[in-house]
Structure 1
Amino acid sequence: MSESKSPQYCPETLALSAGFVPDHQTKTTTPDITMSVNHCFVPEEGSFSANGIEDLADAPFLYAGWTNPTVRQLEQRIAALECTDDAYATMTGMAALSAVFFSLLRAGDHLIISDVCYAAVYELARDVLPDYGIEVTAVNLTDLDAVVQAIRPNTRLIHAESPCNPLLRLTDLAQLAHVAKQHQVLLSVDSTFATPVITRPAVLGADLVIHSLTKFINGHGDALGGCVAGNKALIAQIRSRAAAHFGATISAQNAWLIMRGIETLYPRMKTISDSAHQIAQWLENHPRVKQVNYPGLTSHPQYALAQEQMAYGGGIIVFQVDALDDIAQRFARDARLFYYAYSIGHQRSLAVLLKTADLMTSTYRMTAEQEQQFRHYAGDGVLRLSIGLENPHDLIEELEQLLR
């Protein structure tokens, strides 16, 4: 994947071509799907010993638990789009995060994690990692002084999310990467909300880039997947543990479905972002809407950073309204275009209520100051919209009906 650091083509082209070679017999113009779990091989003396292969991806295809031809194409395409040496694809986004944490951290190590991030990631860090002797500190990563104060001699990894779920708060990735490198700490970034269309964390200095491929990158709501991209040595280390011992490798069928989604990723994200921006502007002027969080709006507290770090505002909007429960019931009961459901990044628009009190009880363990910062963005709760490919005028018309 040497071409990924200095791509021969533009990203829009790499989304279709990276890792793809037409089958030498059929000359197909679409990637084939290889469902076989096993592959025949003729071993040469000593070539397949445990010490003979540093990276399982460098071996001939042997067993799908390590990698398979379809999965490998997906990994090469992600690496090319993220401008990294390599990538490892997993069965879910959480499997990718788990692979990173349990491959790179040991008992006695210290992890710094964003105090607001995807609930399952936060709960894994808060409830599970300490059972294995890993210390965890949750920090508002917008405050670099707080990050520096949290770093200890045993800190091994800082994990960020930008934009973060559900607040759409941003992290200055270039500055955070500078701090991490000064202290010889690795930086991983969950860029699921952004995708490589909007932000490339590795270009800004991150060591690892993580995605839930289930979301925007797949884009069709029909396949689970995750990935972690980074330099070859780090990915080899993660793959050797997670693929061989955790059973986290993605299926060939899901890898094929996600590659199909990647081929339309750039036009989809542009369309979705343009629609989301129109809708966010409309919501901001609605009398029942108290606050809108969207990185593309000038009202976003980090609008300047968004302009510097993001190509588009993205496809997620969160907003506060009066009579929050009543409005949420209307979305669940009466909406025809906004499907009331969790998850994000589908071709159809989704909406869901996220109440602050529920999140504080179920997931986050915040100090009073951290909760105050959370409520600055979320108040008592937000409606989260994941904008799809519908015409934005139709979506606005439905919002007008739901917000009456």
Structure 2
Amino acid sequence: MSTITSLIHSIPVDPQTGAIAVPIYQTSTFVQDAPGVNKGYDYARSNNPTRETAEKIIAGLEGGAAASAFASGLAAIDAVIKLLKAGDEIVAVDDIYGGAFRLFHKVYEKFGIKVHYVDTSDTQAVFQAITPNTRLIWLETPTNPTLKISDIAAISRIAKASNCLLCVDNTFASPVLQQPLALGADLVIHSATKYLGGHSDLIAGVVVSKTPQLGEEIKFYQNACGAILSPFDSFLLIRGIETLHLRIRQHVATAQVLAEYLEQHPAVDKVFYPGLPSHPGHALAKQQSKGFGGIISFTLKEDNAEAATAFVTHTRYFKLAESLGGIKSLLSHPATMTHKSIPAEKRKAAGVSDSLIRLSVGLEEANDLLADLEQAFKHLPQAALAETGLPA
């Protein structure tokens, strides 16, 4: 059976009614036959049939033993960090999502959890950052927003030798393209708001655990802290996953076309897309993934926020918004949007310059998106246009 057929038929038919879609069990509690005797559910924070179905589907997609669905991607990250204690240390990717940085720095550092940020695309740098107190290695691969690629299998060997966990944020790749648990990771994180949901209509997060024991620990924090995914959003997430493989296929195909166009454009300084042979992680991405994703970042030759702002405010089909992974194309200016919470010096050291623009390629026709980018370039400041030779 193919992966797509397996996915579609892992979504169960309701045994009570025969409903082809998973029902929304919009209830807060469940009637018990006797004290402590129930049909597998007692209170909807602890478990809910709709949420449970979404969790089982995603665990299957990632090849994990268990999954727990949360009210947001950050809530999912928070549950993983709760596996640690005061005095523990994290080695984390330097080109990190701004919300994760804020959570690590503003919330958990004051509880005695120290974070070392390194370029995880350099496996040796990860090894050298390990200390006797390291308990967790935190990867994003591809990273957000400069799309660096880290060697999951090699870093998993470092983690095991150092007696620490490896958690991989697989949001950008999705389980369609990349399987971190099969490469040695212990935990996988998703902002399910993005490709898993796919329609920009829900906020959700998921933690997938490689072992039942880790799954039970994450499930404990899901229940104890209460940041659960609602039944309706669980339903939307299942609905989105039904078309995940088809959407990813189109995202990847169109992103490749746009990345190749941007690489040749005279106003562009650098393009970050693993599908380009010029990308330093191209060979590794090709080895550990089945495709290169639907996210492209690029910098302008006129390296300032003014030029970037002129570009991102003049597109037609690419909508200026936070988030990514939906059917409509989006773009953002990370330095003033998704990564604003990271200090400027750290942000720039990680490669997030003032002119960096991130594209989330949607499902529109490639030619329409190309035309949109082309006309947006014409709105760059006059000095930038003069440098490139483009008509003002």
TM-score where L is the length of structure 2: 0.91
SS at structure 2 position matched to 1:362:
coil
1:16 and 2:8 aligned? yes
1:295 and 2:295 aligned? no
Alignment CA distance shift 1:44-1:342 (3 Å) = closer
Q: 2:22 aligns with which of 24, 31, 34?
A: 31
1:393 and 2:367 aligned? yes
SS at structure 1 position matched to 2:356:
strand
Cα offset for 1:208?
0.3
Alignment CA distance shift 1:356-1:91 (3 Å) = closer
1:193–1:314 CA contact under 8 A, matched in 2:
yes
Q: What is the one-letter code of the residue matched to 1:74? A: A
Q: Deviations over 1:133-176 (max 9, x none)?
A: 21221122122222222222222111111111111011100100
- Match in the other structure for 1:80: 60
Please give the alpha-carbon distance, in whole angstroms, between the structure 2 residues aligned to 1:15 and 1:357. 35
Segment of structure 1 superposing worse, 86-95 or 280-289: 280-289
Alignment CA distance shift 1:332-1:115 (3 Å) = closer
- Match in the other structure for 1:54: none
Give the gaps of 5 or more residues in structure 1: 1-8, 49-58
Q: 1:236 aligns with which of 210, 216, 229?
A: 216
SS at structure 2 position matched to 1:158:
strand
1:152 and 2:131 aligned? yes
Q: What is the one-letter code of the residue matched to 2:22? A: P
1:114–1:160 CA contact under 8 A, matched in 2:
yes
Q: 2:76 aligns with which of 96, 106, 113?
A: 96
1:266 and 2:245 aligned? yes
Please give the alpha-carbon distance, in whole angstroms, between the structure 2 residues aligned to 1:35 and 1:271. 34
Please give the alpha-carbon distance, in whole angstroms, between the structure 2 residues aligned to 1:91 and 1:276. 29
2:79–2:222 CA contact under 8 A, matched in 1:
yes
Q: 1:249 aligns with which of 196, 212, 228?
A: 228
Segment of structure 1 superposing worse, 329-338 or 200-209: 329-338
Alignment CA distance shift 1:40-1:187 (3 Å) = same
2:87–2:112 CA contact under 8 A, matched in 1:
yes
Aligned-residue CA RMSD (Å): 2.2
Alignment CA distance shift 1:319-1:371 (3 Å) = closer
- Match in the other structure for 1:55: none
SS at structure 2 position matched to 1:394:
helix
Alignment CA distance shift 1:357-1:119 (3 Å) = closer
1:158–1:186 CA contact under 8 A, matched in 2:
yes
Alignment CA distance shift 1:105-1:358 (3 Å) = closer
Cα offset for 1:26?
2.0
Please give the alpha-carbon distance, in whole angstroms, between the structure 2 residues aligned to 1:241 and 1:357. 30
SS at structure 2 position matched to 1:211:
strand
Segment of structure 1 superposing worse, 123-132 or 343-352: 123-132
Alignment CA distance shift 1:352-1:365 (3 Å) = closer
Q: What is the one-letter code of the residue matched to 1:72? A: E
2:194–2:323 CA contact under 8 A, matched in 1:
yes
1:328–1:352 CA contact under 8 A, matched in 2:
no
Q: 1:192 aligns with which of 171, 178, 181?
A: 171
1:332–1:340 CA contact under 8 A, matched in 2:
yes
Cα offset for 1:127?
2.2
Please give the alpha-carbon distance, in whole angstroms, between the structure 2 residues aligned to 1:204 and 1:165. 21
Q: What is the one-letter code of the residue matched to 1:33? A: I
1:327–1:403 CA contact under 8 A, matched in 2:
no
Alignment CA distance shift 1:61-1:110 (3 Å) = same
Q: 1:322 aligns with which of 285, 291, 301?
A: 301
- Match in the other structure for 1:3: none
Report 1:115-134 matches (<5 A): 115-134=94-113
- Match in the other structure for 1:346: 326
Alignment CA distance shift 1:348-1:331 (3 Å) = farther
Alignment CA distance shift 1:30-1:363 (3 Å) = same
